[in-house]
Structure 1
Amino acid sequence: GIVTALHEIPYGEIWNVEQISLLKDRVQKPDLGLTWEVVESLPIHEDIKMGEGSLKELFSNYRQSLENLATVGVTTICYNFMPVLDWTRTHLKSEVLGGGTALRFSAAHMAAFEIMMLSREEAYNEYHPDAIDAGLKWISQAPKEEKDNLLNSIMAGLPGKFTRYSVEGLKEAVARYDGIGKEMLRKNYGRFLNEVIPTAEKFDIKMCVHPDDPPRNILGLPRIVSSEEDIEWILSYHSSKSNGLTLCSGSLGAGPHNDVVKIAKKFSDKIFFAHLRNVRKENDGSFEESAHLSGDTNMPKLISVLLAEERRRRAGGLGPLEIPFRPDHGHELLSDSEKNTHPGYPLIGRLRGLAELRGIIHAINNV
């Protein structure tokens, strides 16, 4: 199965049937033997997250896009509710042992970015003291090119047509959230669920929210899909069979407060999609994307939970019977560095990860 989206369409606009069908036909050419299984993502306009602007039109457009996707036969929809930024990293080519590079989040560099480049004094209270000390030392000596690279790395997680901010533009985007804390963001998310889940139910669509990446507040912005408690709130807020979770072991695993295997067991019946990657955490809040089988999350145990849930669904005739997954990101290996791929999505590195994950699945199913 293939995971893709209409990345060229600006946030808030309708995905029409013709556009969706063209992409589906491209993916599902008869000689390829592929199917479009999951949309990632059908993005949510920033005004919905802030609870302002042309909400009636934005919700209507989102519902119409859902209906159009279902008309074409694509009914698993991944999305996120992260304010301003998508996944956030400070380094896109951090060298790893054995060769190759990985995505990395340096708490020191992020603290320096917030304190010195965004002038956020509050960040002194939001990062580990060791990270702040190291970050301020680095930025005091860093040339402009390194600071520019840091901004570009932080912007790299923004998909599709989303504007890449300058420092001043990012300040303005963050300032729009002044006065919006966790409870207000939850309220706005609840409104979103109330507006779209009935349509999802009508067309048997599985909406699966992606966790925050990293699972902590950054830039002073609240995050509301960062923990077991957050997920429980979301799934309890709207108990519909269409309201579910994308289990991203890399995003959740970057938080020392999260036990990913425990979370998977607790919410297994609401997992409609999975990102199976791994990270190694550090004491100051930093983390690096590891090889799929060598990070802090026990990947065989996690996959065992998902396979057990699939068996439960098949035994009870419950749908969806399978949980589609992808290796998500991967290390940049060998000739990957010569290709102009989006950060985190190298061909060889992701194929290695996929092969490892498929090996675990095959072993568990045949022991």
Structure 2
Amino acid sequence: MLATMRWFGPNDQVSLMDIRQAGCVGVVSALHQIPVGEVWSEKQINERIQIIEAENDRYSKLEWLVVESLPVHEDIKKGLPSRDKYIENYKVSLKNLANFGIKTVCYNFMPVLDWSRTKLDYTMPDGSKALRFVWTDFAAFDLFILKRPAAETAYTEETKKAAKKRFEEMSAEEKAELQNTVLLGLPGSMEAFHLETFQGLLNNYANIGAEELRANLHYFVSQVAPYAQKLGINLCIHPDDPPFPLLGLPRVVSTEQDLEMLMNAADVRANGITFCTGSLGVREDNNLPAMVKKFADRIHFVHLRTTKRETEYNTLVFHEAAHLNGDVDMYEVISEILKEENTRRKNGNYDAEIPMRPDHGHQMLNDLSSSTYPGYSAIGRLKGLAEIRGMEMAIKRNLGN
């Protein structure tokens, strides 16, 4: 696997030198400063490449290997008439990226929100900090902070009762923290959505259920993936995080069946998957090693992390676990990935080595006093990468590599 780390650009507190010293050969990055839907120009792409590769003559080579993400405009997700304009812009951006040799582009199709948590600094037994999601707390936000009109029908009576008790026990500071956490904006930005306008964004999906959103996703990939194939770009969707509906919003990239339907919607290899073990692993019904084996040829990028499921008030709770200590069978997952790489080498594929990054590391050691984007501290990801690379080496020896 090609070891990479996500880098949010020149303002990222984790430097490119940090990423080099971690043993990475590539960077996962995006032009977060460009408004969603606008074209990424060749000039802007080249500027980012020049920054990433500026020290390549002095130090180990570092490349911009993966774009994460080239975001999909909300009009495409909603299936509005304007979507074709934004799809054309998307294709131009892909062409400009291809002109600079970038071959892997990640995206997601989650409406309004990206990944969602209810706590960004949950204290682990060893004193490190982790991301955490508590369904009862999320319900408390929905019912008593956002006060979404349809929220009452979204939860069981037991959950509503528990959420009310939890909300009444929260201090003003805890309520503000919960609100800011749920409304955190897209990765790469520390700006959150505003509570006053957030309901309006949700209302745009009032008549869009899972069937409609899925149709809009399939339309998008049918238009874009064949074009990406001609450009030599692997387009790979990131699964929903967490992999179930939130706030009345449908989510359609959460299960093996979801992925199978999506792959069939545009039957070209460029219509692929970012296999995120953390996102998919939240669902107990997702058999991750079997899914890697099934979709192996369509997996173009891998996020290796794991969550640990708990229960509270008979509802779901999960936190980001240490990379080898959660619910994901990391040994079996990595084994299947390495087997696929062997198959690609035998077939002479140019993309035999799959880009991988450790994801959502714990905040620990010196990073406890640093300000980094939640889940993207340097040392926690370094620890995860070291563990993954050690396991990779051991599995390769067992496979006879």
The answer, yes or no, to whether TM exceeds 0.5 is yes
> Which of 42, 45, 68 matches 1:20?
45
Query: Does the CA-based 8 Å contact 2:184-2:190 persist in structure 1?
Result: no
> Which of 329, 332, 340 matches 1:298?
329
Match of 1:248 in 2: 276
How far the C-alpha of 1:91 sits from its partner, in A, is 0.1
Residue 26 of structure 1 aligns to a residue whose secondary structure is helix
> Which of 253, 257, 262 matches 2:290?
262
How far the C-alpha of 1:252 sits from its partner, in A, is 0.4
1:280 aligns with 2:308: yes
Output the CA distance in 2 between the equivalents of 1:285 and 1:86: 19
Output the CA distance in 1 between the equivalents of 2:105 and 2:375: 21
Output the CA distance in 1 between the equivalents of 2:190 and 2:184: 10
Match of 2:83 in 1: 55
93-102 or 24-33, larger mean C-alpha shift: 24-33
Query: Does the CA-based 8 Å contact 1:303-1:361 persist in structure 2?
Result: yes
Query: Does the CA-based 8 Å contact 1:276-1:327 persist in structure 2?
Result: yes
Distance 1:36 1:128, change over 3 A: farther
How far the C-alpha of 1:268 sits from its partner, in A, is 1.1
Gaps of 5+ in 2: 1-25
The 5 A counterparts of 1:168-207 are 168-207=196-235
Output the CA distance in 2 between the equivalents of 1:288 and 1:217: 18
1:9 aligns with 2:34: yes
Cα shift readout 1:124-160 (whole Å, capped 9, x = no counterpart): 5544655433321111232332222112111335234
Match of 1:134 in 2: 162
Query: Does the CA-based 8 Å contact 2:185-2:192 persist in structure 1?
Result: no
- Identity %, equivalent residues: 45
Match of 1:361 in 2: 392
Residue 316 of structure 2 aligns to a residue whose secondary structure is coil
Residue 285 of structure 1 aligns to a residue whose secondary structure is strand
- Opposite residue 49 of structure 2, the aligned amino acid is K
How far the C-alpha of 1:319 sits from its partner, in A, is 4.0
Output the CA distance in 2 between the equivalents of 1:326 and 1:24: 19
Query: Does the CA-based 8 Å contact 1:2-1:35 persist in structure 2?
Result: yes
How far the C-alpha of 1:233 sits from its partner, in A, is 0.5
Match of 1:221 in 2: 249
Query: Does the CA-based 8 Å contact 2:184-2:193 persist in structure 1?
Result: no
Query: Does the CA-based 8 Å contact 1:216-1:223 persist in structure 2?
Result: yes
TM-score normalized by the length of structure 1 = 0.96
TM-score normalized by the length of structure 2 = 0.88
Residue 56 of structure 1 aligns to a residue whose secondary structure is helix
Match of 2:320 in 1: 289
Query: Does the CA-based 8 Å contact 1:128-1:285 persist in structure 2?
Result: no
Output the CA distance in 2 between the equivalents of 1:259 and 1:270: 17
1:87 aligns with 2:112: no
What root-mean-square deviation, in Å, do the aligned CA atoms of Structure 1 and Structure 2 show? Answer: 1.6
- Opposite residue 286 of structure 1, the aligned amino acid is V
Aligned length: 367
Cα shift readout 1:285-313 (whole Å, capped 9, x = no counterpart): 11100000000011111100100000011
Output the CA distance in 2 between the equivalents of 1:273 and 1:115: 37
How far the C-alpha of 1:318 sits from its partner, in A, is 2.8
Output the CA distance in 1 between the equivalents of 2:162 and 2:381: 32
- Opposite residue 356 of structure 1, the aligned amino acid is E
- Opposite residue 21 of structure 1, the aligned amino acid is N
Match of 1:77 in 2: 105
Query: Does the CA-based 8 Å contact 1:107-1:127 persist in structure 2?
Result: no
Residue 313 of structure 1 aligns to a residue whose secondary structure is helix
How far the C-alpha of 1:352 sits from its partner, in A, is 0.3
The 5 A counterparts of 1:129-168 are 130-156=158-184, 158-160=186-188, 164-168=192-196
325-334 or 157-166, larger mean C-alpha shift: 157-166
> Which of 292, 308, 311 matches 2:342?
311
> Which of 132, 137, 141 matches 1:113?
141
How far the C-alpha of 1:93 sits from its partner, in A, is 0.2
How far the C-alpha of 1:215 sits from its partner, in A, is 0.1
How far the C-alpha of 1:166 sits from its partner, in A, is 1.9
Distance 1:130 1:301, change over 3 A: farther
